[in-house]
Structure 1
Amino acid sequence: MPSSLDGLVLAPVADQAPGQVGTRTRFTYHEREGVVWADYAGGDVVRGHLVGTREGNRLDFRYVQLKRDGSTSSGHCVSTVVELPDGRLRLEETWAWESQAGTGTSVVEQVTEHDG
């Protein structure tokens, strides 16, 4: 099983639709005994939170976020944790909004200190 997410900072590898997370968004993950949670912000997102569970390399969580325009949104995401050849972690995500229409996929990868 890939390493713990606890204390890691991850960022999307590509921008999503306007008003959503993008390459300037940073997710700070925490993990304890099968429970995962993260805070995130950056780009069009003022503040976001996610909470869920991890079983093996599978994460299942819900997220809520506040955007710069003052609107809020929420959804559900299932991610697969993948260890990259250089040892960093990647999350391959399939998500669906619950507060509005829309589904998609995204990839976030661990940010190293020199990635900033």
Structure 2
Amino acid sequence: MPRSLDGLTLAPVTDQAPGQVGTGTRFAYHESEGRIWAEYAGGDIARGHLVGTRAGDRLDFRYVQLRHDGTTASGHCVSTVTELPDGRVRLEEEWEWESGPGAGTSVVEEVGAAAH
């Protein structure tokens, strides 16, 4: 199983549509006993939270976020945890909004030093 997400900071590798997470967004992950959660902010996002579970290399979580324009959004995401050749963590995500229409895929990677 890839290493724990606890204490890691991850960021998207590309920008999504306006009002969504982008390369300026940072996710601060926590993990304990199969549970995951994170706080995130940056770019168009003033504040966001996600909570869910981890089973092996699979994350299943829900997220809510407040945008700088005062709107809110929520959704569901399933991610696969992998490790990059340099030792950093990568999440390959499939997400869907629950607060409105839309779905897609994204990739976030660990920010900072490689190989822990």
TM-score range normalised by the length of the shorter chain:
over 0.9
The reply on whether 1:30 has 2:30 as its aligned counterpart is yes
Following the alignment from structure 2 to structure 1, what is the Cα–Cα distance between the partners of residues 2 and 85?
12
Corresponding position of 1:100: 100
Q: Distance in 1 between matches of 2:42 and 2:100?
A: 21
Structure 1 residue 109 displacement after superposition: 0.1
Whole-Å separation in 1 of the counterparts to 2:110 and 2:96: 22
Deviation at 1:84, TM superposition (A): 0.5
Distance apart, 1:66 and its partner CA: 0.1
List alignment gaps of at least 5 residues for structure 2.
none
> For residue 41 of structure 2, what is the aligned residue in structure 1?
41
State the 1:44 CA deviation: 0.3
Displacement of 1:33 in angstroms is 0.4
Specify the SS of the correspondent of 1:95: strand
Gaps of 5+ in 1: none
- 1:86 corresponding residue in structure 2: 86
CA distance in 1, matches of 2:109, 2:84: 9
Where do residues 55-74 of structure 1 align in structure 2 (5 Å cutoff)? 55-74=55-74
- Using the TM superposition, give the Cα deviation of residue 104 of structure 1 relative to its aligned residue in structure 2, in angstroms: 0.1
Query: How big is each residue's C-alpha offset from its partner over 1:19-40, in whole Å with a ceiling of 9 and x where there is no partner?
Result: 1100000000000000000000
SS at match of 1:24: coil
- Count of equivalent residues: 114
Q: Among all aligned residue pairs of Structure 1 and Structure 2, give the percentage whose two residues are the same amino acid.
A: 76
**Does 1:17 find its partner at 2:17?**
yes
Residue 69 of structure 1 deviates from its aligned partner by 0.5
